[in-house]
């Protein structure tokens, strides 16, 4: 019990530290572009066991709107979806239709971004931490270790597989 309490407190401290590092306004121009999903952490197995796996996304911002073009691997076939969200009262936090939110917790804009994705589904709130990289190959960047520290006590954890759908999205947009 004491160990669980300690890990919870440490998790909150890390979240506060990461949040403090991103108190500055999100630079919309710098966050825009291609991102490949590298890691996922959640306390809910539902978030990790879906047959429709996100592989990459392309962000564009205009005013307070965030357009997200997402590419999924759905049992071997690539599917895309476009979503438009509106920036909320916190810089870097966007609300999307269907009770979904994306919050940019940390980024260096060039190599990595750590996002918290929240959604309300079937009367429950689900939260997933996601690590994204600009690169199709490299995962061992300093941001990845921040993500691992941040998610050490989350419970379930998955490192995304290299996917051809993310590669196709990046090539399509170049």
- pLDDT at position 42, please? 83
Residues in the chain, overall count = 174
- State the Cα–Cα distance between residues 150 and 18, nearest whole angstrom: 8
pLDDT tens digits, residue range 116-172?
999 887 888 888 899 999 988 766 677 888 888 888 877 656 666 667 788 888 887
pTM, to two decimals: 0.78
- State the Cα–Cα distance between residues 17 and 13, nearest whole angstrom: 6
**How distant, in Å, are the alpha carbons of 113, 122, 165 from that of 141?**
11, 36, 22
- State the Cα–Cα distance between residues 118 and 61, nearest whole angstrom: 20
pLDDT tens digits, residue range 69-115?
999 988 889 999 999 999 998 989 999 998 899 999 999 999 999 99
pLDDT tens digits, residue range 26-79?
999 999 999 999 888 887 766 566 667 889 999 999 888 999 999 998 888 999
- pLDDT at position 14, please? 37
**DSSP secondary-structure letter at 166?**
H
- State the Cα–Cα distance between residues 46 and 60, nearest whole angstrom: 28
What is the C-alpha R_g of the chain? 16
12: confidence class by pLDDT, cuts 50, 70, 90:
very low
pLDDT tens digits, residue range 15-25?
433 443 445 78
Class at the top of the CATH hierarchy for domain 2-22+29-173:
mainly beta
């Amino acid at each position: 019990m004491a160990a669980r309490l300690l890990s919870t407190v440490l998790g909150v401290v890390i979240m506060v530290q990461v949040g403090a590092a991103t108190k500055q306004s999100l630079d919309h121009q710098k966050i825009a572009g291609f991102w490949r999903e590298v890691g996922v952490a959640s306390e809910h197995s539902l978030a990790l066991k879906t047959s429709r796996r996100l592989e990459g996304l392309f962000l564009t911002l205009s005013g307070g709107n965030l357009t997200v073009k997402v590419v999924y691997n759905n049992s071997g076939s690539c599917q895309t979806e476009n979503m438009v969200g509106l920036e909320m009262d916190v810089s870097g936090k966007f609300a999307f239709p269907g009770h979904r939110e994306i919050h940019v917790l940390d980024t260096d804009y060039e190599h990595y971004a750590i996002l918290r994705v929240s959604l309300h589904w079937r009367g429950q709130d689900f939260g997933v931490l996601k690590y994204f990289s600009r690169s199709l190959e490299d995962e061992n960047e300093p941001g990845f270790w921040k993500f691992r520290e941040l998610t050490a006590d989350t419970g379930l954890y998955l490192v995304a597989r290299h996917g051809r759908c993310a590669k196709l999205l990046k090539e399509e947009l170049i």
